[in-house]
């Protein structure tokens, strides 16, 4: 028989008291919440199973704050797109803008992008953190009037008429 991590609920309470003494109440609670234990009763024993994710997958970031467009002086002209936003934790990596794929161009001339990044794995501090992403549109469609960038909580548009020339 495999011994569970904690045989009795009393040991869980003992662990919480120890964490509070060692790290402070707030850190102890955050540590427990972040690790997301799942409790199940089996033969009057408490078994703790921690949530673990598989390999990190890209997700939309929390919020887009603003989007900048820069018209590049090249032949043919290119459009630089820079998005600024926020994540809800530290440690997000590989932020990028993913363009929507269109069968027909958008009727309003606003081309759309998802603002994605790879979230951290394991325990991470819950801190609002800035993140930036760039995309170079190498061929500007004739009907392009602007871009719209999506996050999980909002969307932000930038119009081509506001683009700076570089």
* Phi, psi for 20 (deg, rounded to 5): -60, -45
Beta strands in the chain (DSSP E): 37-42, 45-50, 59-60, 63-72, 78-87, 93-99, 110-118, 129-137, 146-150, 155-159, 164-165
pLDDT at res. 19: 52
pLDDT at res. 55: 52
pLDDT at res. 54: 46
Asked whether residue 80 is domain-assigned, the answer is yes
Q: Does residue 78 sit in the same domain as residue 159?
A: yes
pLDDT at res. 163: 72
Q: Does residue 41 sit in the same domain as residue 106?
A: no
Element containing residue 25 per DSSP (H, E): helix 25-35
> Which pTM value belongs to this model?
0.66
Q: Does residue 19 sit in the same domain as residue 88?
A: no
The 8-class DSSP code of residue 12 comes to H
Q: Does residue 114 sit in the same domain as residue 142?
A: yes
Domain count, the chain: 2
Which candidate, 127, 59, 55, places its Cα nearest to that of 91? 127
Asked whether residue 83 is domain-assigned, the answer is yes
pLDDT in tens, the chain (166 residues): 444 444 444 555 555 555 556 665 555 454 444 444 434 343 444 333 333 444 569 999 999 999 999 999 888 899 999 999 999 999 999 999 999 999 999 999 999 999 999 999 888 889 999 999 999 999 999 999 999 999 999 999 999 987 777 7
Q: Does residue 15 sit in the same domain as residue 63?
A: no
Question: Whole domain around residue 135: which residue ranges?
Answer: 59-165
Q: Helix 25-35 crosses helix 9-23 at what angle (to 10 degrees)?
A: 130
């Amino acid at each position: 028989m495999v011994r569970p991590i904690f045989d009795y609920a009393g040991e869980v309470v003992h662990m919480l008291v120890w964490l509070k003494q060692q790290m402070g109440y707030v850190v102890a609670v955050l540590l427990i919440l972040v690790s997301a234990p799942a409790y199940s009763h089996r033969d009057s024993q408490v078994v703790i199973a921690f949530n673990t994710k598989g390999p990190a997958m890209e997700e939309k970031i929390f919020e887009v704050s603003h989007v900048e467009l820069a018209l590049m002086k090249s032949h043919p002209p290119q459009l630089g797109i820079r998005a600024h936003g926020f994540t809800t934790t530290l440690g997000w990596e590989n932020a990028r803008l993913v363009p929507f794929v269109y069968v027909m161009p958008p009727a309003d001339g606003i081309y759309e992008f998802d603002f994605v990044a790879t979230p951290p794995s394991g325990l991470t501090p819950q801190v609002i953190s800035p993140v930036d992403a760039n995309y170079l549109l190498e061929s500007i469609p004739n009907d392009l009037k602007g871009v719209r960038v999506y996050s999980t909580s909002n969307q932000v548009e930038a119009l081509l008429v506001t683009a700076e020339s570089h």
